């Protein structure tokens, strides 16, 4: 028996390894995750389908919803294909025979669908975008998790020759019967239906012919479109497989339309011709969009068709002519023309022997030929342009219009141009930025063996992501054979192609336009597929033997399972019979859900408080779930704050500074209540699935509650009264910590969608990213709603007056331009002032200043010259000062409580406590910050990139400390991160720096967290690097780390030896980059500011 079981085990292992070749996890686990993702998408489809917007008059919104439903339906199909192939990798579900490549392609398509759906709601309706955004982010995270679980593609390097495929190895939706479509002697295609505008065919409209095509057909359905201009919008849906459409010649058979973005169409739905059904094939047809350059995005042709071929076709448009949205596509001997991003999308696309011609854009616009949209590094997508002619229309040859090969639409944009002619009209730098340094280190732009006056690479961009291939090995990755696995499916189409880097006749450079219908390319006749080779027959016979062996294994496993089940059933029935004679005593009926409460509270830091708080709220609910308990804890915390406020009021403060502290405390506790109300709003109801997207918001808000509690205590001077307040307030901290713990538990229980790490977040209401903006030379200066000017040349003379004039419930961004001048006023951007943007004439020209300080009887909280509280505050080119001086102790220049706040090219000047990063998520880019003691402090999740941090000369007895982070609980998601910054002495301290000890930071609170990476640290910093706060407070529990810094003060040899000082590896440091730490990829990208989401090196 043992030997039999061993044999079964060995056979089972062999069988299971079929899926092991393709997946990093067991097939059953992978399949469960796919089904889970499909279910989320179906929930979204159901929710969106119920929107009553179709009865509304918002044309753009109707289009956005319609597009989103189509895209989600397409994602379900792509995931279903993936599911089928993962469970049966040796079956016909794999369309190329390379299961890894197929699954990665389908999942890449499913990934881009969510992004396109979300972008469709830009500038339309924030409420609906908020409703669908969270679910879309959840789907994206889940699809990305699936991508992570597929093993990399393995391809055999191409050795030459066109690989032929056997009909037995074809997917079930594509048959070798296609060979008969072309008669060998006449090369004539046999059509099923004819479309003729003059009424001489079966139909006069192309859509009628498409509607007549059978669904999910495994053989070609051929439509002949006769000469004529067809003004209609053609959509070939996802169930129309293997449609072949041929015309009477480029510029003779023309399909035209003029939908565009300006007139209310979303980019996705603006296409004149759109195809989603797999295996689409077109030849000798022109696709055009005549909207014109002033109408912005206007697509002529859009494809989501996997394994599609466009041969000897033309595409005419301006901005966004050809939208290669997703999947594997091949374009041969085509003519493509446009202005901005006129070849764009996230498909895996090869262009061979095509003419790509830039035409004249609007004044001040720049031409960009490509804009690839690869979002994630694991996606197998990109543009490969090979043996093509890249030029412009004649009128641009000597014009001032700049034309570029491409720009990075998304973070991992990938475009390769090789063995092509590049005309002198292309700018010497070759490539164009999308937005400052966005994606310049993560993109993949390459060139290989190009020729022509514009092909010189000496003056090309110097971006980290740009490369010139020095060997054919790297270029070979982007050939037909390897990039789109073309040898497995292109031969069946009969289209000639070059599989590798083979010798190809150079295309004669011309300025062809539509007056030359031949486009100077020889039309390649369709080749018949040759007979199967003898060795392939042998290979097939071998495959049959393997299949027979596998089937035998399956039979053995089924028999073994049946035997095991029979034994189990017998034993189980015997146990039941014995139990009937001696039944155990019935367990006591639970009066409450105490066991569940204990389980939920087991991992919290304050278990007793957790259990007592929850039981008060759910004592009569014996079936309470973890989600119910999370709600109960939020309610308990809110009630506790009310009680705490009353207790603090009863202490009886007499001194003015203590009364001021009490007033601050009351404000902060109201803010804490607001954070809890937001948290309760997001978890109310029964939709537990939304926890996967709610987690990041809850962590943010609940961390802020703890920050406010600590700020309240810190507002009182040392003494007995402060200790009373601290004791009263302790319960708020414990409840906040417990709630953070349970948020993590509940979200982990309810979804696997975030298992890949780095959760996704919905775009908040202020993030209106204009849908792929036009390129202009005017610098893109903001248009203000109001202007502030000291000389009365604006709308207001003070900044506060401009803020007070902001309409209530203002939608969109309220932009305030602050002209040059020194504004001596205390400015507060209040909580109800959301999405304010304020910009000046320069950080040393437009300055807000004040001199409030602690010594003069003002609490640190109230000393700030400028306070930003309202959500989504943005500042650029402004200066913030506090001129109190070092002898006045705490004197804040800028206090920030605003979530999703952004500061670019700003200047913060002070001495002690210059910049108070109080709470929430904050981003600082290219700012100048100066001070002495703890001059960057607080309990926010604050990221500083490319900032100059200068230490000033303190008082005689003082030591300088750059940071004092205030994380009081280990579960808070807060911290200070300095990345690619400079930490140096200012010009006055520099000659005396040896006399003043300066440190990178000290732990203001027990779990203080600060990370400094990829920065320059000057010799002003002491060798030990960090300083104690008071005795051993926090030295074991803090989290301080340095990574890959440089400069005279960056050596870590003599750094402190505290338990909390960490030595991190690169993978550990990545957690503190903008993407995962601030969850910033959506809101910062949408805000259109310079940002590096990952590492700089």
Residues forming the active site:
341, 934
H or E stretch covering 128: helix 126-148
Q: How far apart are CA 1058 and CA 1038, in angstroms?
A: 9
User: Do the beta carbons of residue 51 and residue 176 sit within 8 Å?
Assistant: no
Q: Please state, in angstroms and rounded to a whole number, the distance separating the CA atoms of residues 802 and 473.
A: 61
3-state SS assignment for residue 809: coil
Q: What is the token pair recorded at 645? A: 């406020």
The neighbouring-strand residues paired with 310 are 282, 331
Query: What secondary structure, in 3-state letters, does 283-339 show?
Result: ECCEEEECCCHHHCCCCCEEECCCCEEEECCEEECCCCCEEECCCEEEEECCEEEEC
Q: Which two tokens stand for residue 889?
A: 């102790």
Could you tell me the strand order of the sheet in which 1039-1043 lies? 786-788, 814-818, 836-840, 874-876, 901-904, 921-925, 941-945, 975-979, 1009-1013, 1039-1043, 1061-1062
Burial readout 364-387 (b: 16 or more C-beta within 10 A, e: otherwise)? ebbbbbbbbbbbbebbbbbbbbbb
Backbone angles phi, psi at 1065, to 5 degrees: -90, 170
Half-sphere exposure of 393 (CA within 13 A, CB side): 17
Closest CA to 406 of 378, 387, 382, 424: 382
**Cα-based angle 303, 307, 310 (whole degrees, multiple of 5):** 60
The continuous run of DSSP H or E covering 549 comes out as: helix 534-581
b/e burial code for range 1053-1065 (CB count within 10 A of at least 16 → b): eebbebebbeebe
Residue 478 tokens read as: 């982007």
Question: Residue-wise over 435-453: b if at least 16 C-beta within 10 A, else e?
Answer: eeebbbbbbbbbbbebebe
Q: Which structure tokens are listed for 1027?
A: 């300083």
- Residue 248, class by beta-carbon neighbours within 10 Å (0-12 exposed, 13-18 middle, 19+ buried)? middle
Both tokens of residue 510? 């011309």
The first and second tokens of residue 865, run together, are 């010259």
In whole angstroms, give the CA distance from residue 4 to residue 720: 79
d(CA 999, CA 1008) in angstroms, rounded, equals: 15
- Around 70, how many Cα atoms within 13 Å sit in the side-chain half-sphere? 20
């Amino acid at each position: 028996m043992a030997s039999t079981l061993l044999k079964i085990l060995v056979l089972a292992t062999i069988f299971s390894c079929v899926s092991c070749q393709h997946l990093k996890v067991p097939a059953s686990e992978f399949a469960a995750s796919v089904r889970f993702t499909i279910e989320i998408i179906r929930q979204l489809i159901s929710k969106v389908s119920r929107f009553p917007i179709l009865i509304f008059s918002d044309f753009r919104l109707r289009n956005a919803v319609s597009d989103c439903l189509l895209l989600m339906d397409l994602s379900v199909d792509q995931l279903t294909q993936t599911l089928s192939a993962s469970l049966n990798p040796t079956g016909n579900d794999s369309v190329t025979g390379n299961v890894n490549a197929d699954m990665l392609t389908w999942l890449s398509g499913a990934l881009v669908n969510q992004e396109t759906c979300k972008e469709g709601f830009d500038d339309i309706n924030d409420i609906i975008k908020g409703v669908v955004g969270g679910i879309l982010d959840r789907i994206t995270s889940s699809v990305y998790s699936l991508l992570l679980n597929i093993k990399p593609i393995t391809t055999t390097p191409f050795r030459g020759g066109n690989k032929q495929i056997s009909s037995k190895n074809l997917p079930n939706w594509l048959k070798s019967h296609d060979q008969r479509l072309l008669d060998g002697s006449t090369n004539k295609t046999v059509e099923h239906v004819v479309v003729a505008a003059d009424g001489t065919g079966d139909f006069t409209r192309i859509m009628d012919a498409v509607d007549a095509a059978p669904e999910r057909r495994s053989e070609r359905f051929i439509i002949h479109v006769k000469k004529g201009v067809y003004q209609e919008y053609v959509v070939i849906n996802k169930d129309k497989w293997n449609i072949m459409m041929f015309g009477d010649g480029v510029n003779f058979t023309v399909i035209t339309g003029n939908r565009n973005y300006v007139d209310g169409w979303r980019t996705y739905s603006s296409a004149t011709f759109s195809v989603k059904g797999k295996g689409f094939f077109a030849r000798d047809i022109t696709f055009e969009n005549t909207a014109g350059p002033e109408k912005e995005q206007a697509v002529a042709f859009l494809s989501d068709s996997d394994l599609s071929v466009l041969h000897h076709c033309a595409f005419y448009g301006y901005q966004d002519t050809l939208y290669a949205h997703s999947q594997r596509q091949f374009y041969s001997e085509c003519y493509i023309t446009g202005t901005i991003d006129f070849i764009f999308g996230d498909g895996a696309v090869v262009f061979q022997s095509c003419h790509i011609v830039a035409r004249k854009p609007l004044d001040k616009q720049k031409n960009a030929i490509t804009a690839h949209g690869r979002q994630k590094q694991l996606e197998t997508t990109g543009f490969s342009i090979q043996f093509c002619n890249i030029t412009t229309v004649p009128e641009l040859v000597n014009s001032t219009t700049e034309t570029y090969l491409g720009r990075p639409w998304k973070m991992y944009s990938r475009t390769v141009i090789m063995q092509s002619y590049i005309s002198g009209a292309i700018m010497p730098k070759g490539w164009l930025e999308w937005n400052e340094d966005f994606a310049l280190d993560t993109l993949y732009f390459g060139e290989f063996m190009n020729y022509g006056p514009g092909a010189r690479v000496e003056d090309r961009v110097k971006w980290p992501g740009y490369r010139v291939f020095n060997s054919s090995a790297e270029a070979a990755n982007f050939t037909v054979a390897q990039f789109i696995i073309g040898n497995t499916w292109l031969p069946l189409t009969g289209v000639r192609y070059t599989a590798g880097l083979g010798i190809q006749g150079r295309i004669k450079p011309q300025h062809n336009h539509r007056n030359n219908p031949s486009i100077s390319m020889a039309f390649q006749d369709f080749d018949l597929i040759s007979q199967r080779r003898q060795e392939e027959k042998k290979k097939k016979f071998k495959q049959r033997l393997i299949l027979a062996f596998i089937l035998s294994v399956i039979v053995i496993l089924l028999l073994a399972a049946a035997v095991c089940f029979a034994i189990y059933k017998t034993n189980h029935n015997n146990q039941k019979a014995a139990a009937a004679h001696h039944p155990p005593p019935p367990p006591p009926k639970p009066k409450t859900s105490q066991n569940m409460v204990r389980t939920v509270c087991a991992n919290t830091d304050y278990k007793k408080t957790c259990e007592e708080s929850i039981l008060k709220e759910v004592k009569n609910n014996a079936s309470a779930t973890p989600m119910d308990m999370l709600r109960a804890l939020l309610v308990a915390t809110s009630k506790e704050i009310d009680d705490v406020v009353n207790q603090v009021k009863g202490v009886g403060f007499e001194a003015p500074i203590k009364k001021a502290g009490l007033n601050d405390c009351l404000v902060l506790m109201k803010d804490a209540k607001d954070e809890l109300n937001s948290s309760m709003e997001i978890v109310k109801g029964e939709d537990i699935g939304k926890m996967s997207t709610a987690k990041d918001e809850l962590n943010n808000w609940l961390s802020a509650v703890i920050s406010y509690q600590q700020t309240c205590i810190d507002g009182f001077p040392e003494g007995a009264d402060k200790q009373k307040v601290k004791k009263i307030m302790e319960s708020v901290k414990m409840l906040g910590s417990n709630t953070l713990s349970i948020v993590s538990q509940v979200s982990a229980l309810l979804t696997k969608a975030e298992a890949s790490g780095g959760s996704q977040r919905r775009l908040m209401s202020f993030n209106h990213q204009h849908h792929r903006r036009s390129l202009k030379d005017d610098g893109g200066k903001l248009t203000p709603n109001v202007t502030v000017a000291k000389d009365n040349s604006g709308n207001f003379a003070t900044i506060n007056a401009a803020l007070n004039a902001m309409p209530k419930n203002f939608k969109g961004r309220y932009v305030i331009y602050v002209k040059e001048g020194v504004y001596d006023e205390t400015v507060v951007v209040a909580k109800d002032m959301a999405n304010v943007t304020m910009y000046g004439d320069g950080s040393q020209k437009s300055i807000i200043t004040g001199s409030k300080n602690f010594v003069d009887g003002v609490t640190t909280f109230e000393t700030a010259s400028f306070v930003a509280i309202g959500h989504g505050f943005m500042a650029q080119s402004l200066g913030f000062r506090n001129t109190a001086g070092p002898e006045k102790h705490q004197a804040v220049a800028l206090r920030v409580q605003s979530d999703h706040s952004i500061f670019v090219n700003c200047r913060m000047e002070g001495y002690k406590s210059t910049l108070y990063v109080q709470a929430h998520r904050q981003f600082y880019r290219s700012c100048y910050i100066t001070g002495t003691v703890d001059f960057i402090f607080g309990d926010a999740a604050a990221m500083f990139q490319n900032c100059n941090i200068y230490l000033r000369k303190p008082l005689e007895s003082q030591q300088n400390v750059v940071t004092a982070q205030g994380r009081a609980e280990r579960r808070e998601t807060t911290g200070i991160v300095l990345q690619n910054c400079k930490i140096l002495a200012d010009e006055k301290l520099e000659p005396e720096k040896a006399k003043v000890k300066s440190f990178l930071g000290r732990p203001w609170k027990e779990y203080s967290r600060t990370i400094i990476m990829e920065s320059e640290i000057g010799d002003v910093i002491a060798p030990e690097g960090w300083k104690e706060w008071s005795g051993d407070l926090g030295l074991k529990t803090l989290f301080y780390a340095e990574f890959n810094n440089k400069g005279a003060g960056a050596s870590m040899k003599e750094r402190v030896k505290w338990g909390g000082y960490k030595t991190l590896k690169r993978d550990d440091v990545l957690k503190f980059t903008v993407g995962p730490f601030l969850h910033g990829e959506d809101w910062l990208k949408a805000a259109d500011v310079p940002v590096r989401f990952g590492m700089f090196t």
